Amino acid sequence: MMNPLRSEKAFASLIGLLLAIAIIVFVAYKVYGVYLGKPTVQDKQTRKALSEQGLDTSSAVGTYQSTKGRVGDIKKMIADQSDQLPPEMK
């Protein structure tokens, strides 16, 4: 015959495991939606301004990558301009 106390502990462990899995799945769903989904914090005016600057606003990843590329272009442009300065101004 099975010990009732042991059966209750096993049931509680199973419930705890299912609850932990449910929390992990919920958090993963939210993170996935924010990271790869359409940006929800950008209003139409912000999206328009970013698009005018040549930035991808289709998703958070696209916005991040295009912004990173644009910042790299700006750094290169500044470095090129500083190379053209006379030595006494550097």
| Alpha-carbon distance values, 58 to 24, 31, 40, 66 (Å) | 27, 17, 11, 11
Residue from 74, 39, 35, 33 nearest 53 by CA: 74
Domain ranges of the chain: 1-36, 42-90
Average the pLDDT over 48-64 and give the result.
82
pLDDT tens for 62-75 read: 888 888 999 999 99
- Which pair of structure tokens corresponds to residue 56? 């991808």
pTM: 0.46
Average the pLDDT over 5-22 and give the result.
80
Question: What length does the chain have?
Answer: 90
3-state DSSP call for residue 36? Answer: helix
In a 13 Å sphere around the CA of 34, the CA atoms on its Cβ side amount to 7
- The answer on pLDDT for 21 being more than 80 is yes
Separation of alpha carbons 27 and 19, rounded Å: 12
Average the pLDDT over 56-85 and give the result.
86
- Which pair of structure tokens corresponds to residue 88? 């006494």
Average the pLDDT over 15-33 and give the result.
89
Residue from 53, 78, 80 nearest 66 by CA: 53
